[in-house]
Amino acid sequence: DTGVSQNPRHKITKRGQNVTFRCDPISEHNRLYWYRQTLGQGPEFLTYFQNEAQLEKSRLLSDRFSAERPKGSFSTLEIQRTEQGDSAMYLCASPRDSGANVLTFGAGSRLTVL
């Protein structure tokens, strides 16, 4: 149990559909990160929250992507009008402990767009 929970673990959808992923981070930590990992690549930073504020977004996050963290606890990542190029593993992470600059990752949500 890494302390970061993600669901669903796997989502298969048709092109053009919307999907939403949820992340429940380690409690009591105010920072939360989303990454995307494609096959054979390292994880790429997507966006970062401190409490409910989205403080940084990567250029990878097109306008079809939206992330929220409404109460500063869990977060959602929604992809609208999915494309085959969105197929990837979406990872959520939060700091292992305060000031350690080490992230604990969830097991990820794998998206397959047909």
Partner 1 sequence: GNSVTQMEGPVTLSEEAFLTINCTYTATGYPSLFWYVQYPGEGLQLLLKATKADDKGSNKGFEATYRKETTSFHLEKGSVQVSDSAVYFCALTSPTETSYDKVIFGPGTSLSVIP
* Residues that bind partner 1 in the complex, under the rule CB under 8 A: 2, 4, 31, 33, 40-45, 48, 50, 55-56, 91, 93, 95-96, 101-108
Complex with partner 1: residue 14 or 99, whichever CB lies closer: 99
Smallest distance from the beta carbon of 112 to partner 1, in angstroms?
16
What is d(CA 77, CA 64) in angstroms, rounded to the nearest whole number? 10
User: In the chain, how long is the greatest CA-to-CA distance?
Assistant: 41
d(CA 83, CA 3): 31
Smallest distance, Å, CB 16 to partner 1?
29
* CA 9 to chain centroid: 12
Nearer to partner 1, 85 or 102 (CB): 102
Q: How is 45-89 classified by DSSP, letter by letter?
A: EEEEEETTEEEEE-TT--TTEEEE-TTSSSEEEEE-S--GGG-EE
Query: Closer CB to partner 1, residue 22 or residue 96?
Result: 96
Task: Find the shortest distance in angstroms from Cβ 95 to partner 1.
Answer: 5
Smallest gap from Cβ 45 to partner 1, in A, equals 6
